[in-house]
Amino acid sequence: MANRDAPINGRNSKLSLLKTGNLILTDAGKSVVWASNTFSLSSSSLQLYDTGNLVLITTTNRVILWQSFDAPTDTLLPLQPLNRDSLLVSSRSLTNFSSGFYKLAFDDDNVLRLVYDGPEVSSAFWPAHWLLSREAGRSSYNSSRIALLDAFGNFTSSDNFTFFSADYGVQLQRRLTLDFDGNLRLYSRENENGSWVISWQAFAQPCKIHAACGPNSVCKYVPSFGRKCSCLPGYKIKNPADWSLGCEPEILVSSVETEVIFIRLPHVEMYGYDFGYFENYTLEMCKEVCLRRYDCKGFALKYVFQNHPDNVPYCFPKLQLLNGYTTPNFRGDFYLKVPKTSPYKDWSAKELTLDCPAEATKQLERRYVKTDGNRSEKFLLGFVTAVGIVEILAMVLVWLYFIGSRQKIDATSEDYFLVATGFRRFTYSELKQQEISVKKLAEELPELSIKGY
């Protein structure tokens, strides 16, 4: 995606291949916003391969001058290499395709890493930074720095990292995408309905992705919903439409030690940004450590520490409240430093309602499914049906009107016929009635002779 941080107008913009072999993108004002900066004395052409690679190539000796595979954005396609000169950068959000805060790249130790590079802090979070390269199954001795995905679902990196998709072995359309939430996912396209399905992902617990909900917040994973965020007690959200900005304090903590208290947040972890760790410290000892520093935001007291004995309390006082998440299996609690006058001093764990407003976040679905149709089509169908019903009713009314009019016309025509000719038209029942009347009259007057009856 060229110029993703300052997209051009979709109208009157043009991609042009010059005779010099330079590929340029101009906006509606005829300004060059991007160029391949290539030059060729021989003729060249721009070709789109079946692999998805857009290639600028000379027509005579088939020399590649430029190719889109050398400049990925947030996605790798099969056979598209990720090397020392390229990286993946996530989008800002599901609908904002400008550069986000998450990156996938090789570091100086030749290890492929996921990095959060935010506006204030940066941190590598995959593989876990407390693990040595060999402990994470990586090697730092291969300096080639190249990673590649094939069409069958196998990803291989020069640092010995490899994975297979859940549908490995089938040749499908695939893409490896660094999503806006910081999770690296492999998608496979189903042949039946054309939807994209997740066939591998780096994090099964998305709340462990750094800065999942921004600073001063807590993330919780709900299987039926996904990732949910909430502000810590005493903090308020900065921007409901962007949880990556996190929360800000409602009341600033005073530098006077007696004016603060600590609120216990059970099973809450604030990963990183501590100014030390203290082994075998009690709760009161850990409070004293935090109270000595004005910039201490709170501390974690937990009973597990990498490469250290378990069942021993470890104290981690924090300078920043970042990467917060809660999970029932976390063996520890967090103690948040708040003003003594804070209304949250009697706060309990039940008050942590980890719900993000609907307009604030949008959960990435596991499948991209086509919709049932749009509202305009449904409206048009209803409108046509209503018009059809009205037309049928109108036809019935017109038919009834003509039937009534015809009966009136028949009666009027009969009156005109009687006046003009002196004759009258009788029905069979009327003649029968007249016959009965005449017979009765003949019985009363025998002298009358009625012939023809």
Give me the pLDDT at residue 358, please.
37
Q: Would you call 98 helix, strand, or coil by DSSP? A: coil
Give the separation between CA 231 and CA 220, rounded to whole angstroms: 12
Do the domains spanning 1-71 and 73-204 agree at the CATH topology level? yes
Tokens found for residue 250: 């409602």
- Looking at CATH, the fold of the domain delimited by 1-71 is given as Agglutinin, subunit A (2.90.10)
CATH code: domain 225-351 is 3.50.4.10
Give the separation between CA 33 and CA 13, rounded to whole angstroms: 10
Tokens found for residue 228: 């949910």
Give me the pLDDT at residue 12, please.
85
Amino acid identity of 170? V
Residue 177 main-chain phi, psi, to 5 deg: -120, 135
Give the residue from 147, 273, 168, 262 showing the smallest Cα distance to 215.
273
Tokens found for residue 168: 């490995």
A 10 A CB-CB count for 205 gives: 13
The residue assigned the tokens 């042949």 is: 191
Q: Would you call 349 helix, strand, or coil by DSSP? A: helix
Q: What number of H helices and E strands is found in the chain? A: 3, 29
Q: What is the pTM of this model?
A: 0.72
Give me the pLDDT at residue 103, please.
98
The residue assigned the tokens 């196998």 is: 154
A 10 A CB-CB count for 161 gives: 16
The residue assigned the tokens 């004002």 is: 29
Give the separation between CA 37 and CA 19, rounded to whole angstroms: 13
Give the residue from 111, 109, 108, 114 showing the smallest Cα distance to 88.
114
pLDDT in tens, 205-241: 899 999 999 999 999 988 878 888 999 988 899 988 7
Pairing assessment for the beta strands 332-339 and 260-266 based on DSSP bridges: antiparallel
Residues in the chain, pLDDT under 70:
1-2, 252-258, 306-309, 345-377, 404-428, 430-431, 434-435, 437-453
For Cα atoms 300, 304, 308, give the angle at the middle one, nearest 5 degrees.
120
Give the residue from 265, 276, 274, 252 showing the smallest Cα distance to 217.
265
Give the separation between CA 199 and CA 186, rounded to whole angstroms: 6
Tokens found for residue 266: 């059970």
Residue environment code for 241-255, b if the CB has 16+ CB neighbours within 10 A, otherwise e: eebbbbbebeeebee
- Sorted by where each begins, the domain ranges of the chain are 1-71, 73-204, 225-351
Residue 401 main-chain phi, psi, to 5 deg: -65, -45
What pairs with residue 249 in β-bridges? 235
pLDDT in tens, 302-358: 887 766 667 788 999 999 999 999 988 888 899 999 888 777 765 544 444 444 443
Residue environment code for 68-107, b if the CB has 16+ CB neighbours within 10 A, otherwise e: bbeebbbbbbbebebeeebbbbbbbbeeebebbbbbbbbe
A 10 A CB-CB count for 413 gives: 10
What residues contact residue 86 under an 8 Å CB cut-off, 6+ apart?
A: 70, 71, 72, 105
Amino acid identity of 179? D
The CATH superfamily assigned to 73-204 is Bulb-type lectin domain (2.90.10.10)
Tokens found for residue 179: 């999503």
Give me the pLDDT at residue 329, please.
83
End-to-end Cα distance, the chain: 108
Give the separation between CA 300 and CA 316, rounded to whole angstroms: 5
Tokens found for residue 346: 């009697």
The residue assigned the tokens 């959200």 is: 237
Tokens found for residue 335: 């103690």
For the CA atoms of the chain, what is the radius of gyration?
A: 41
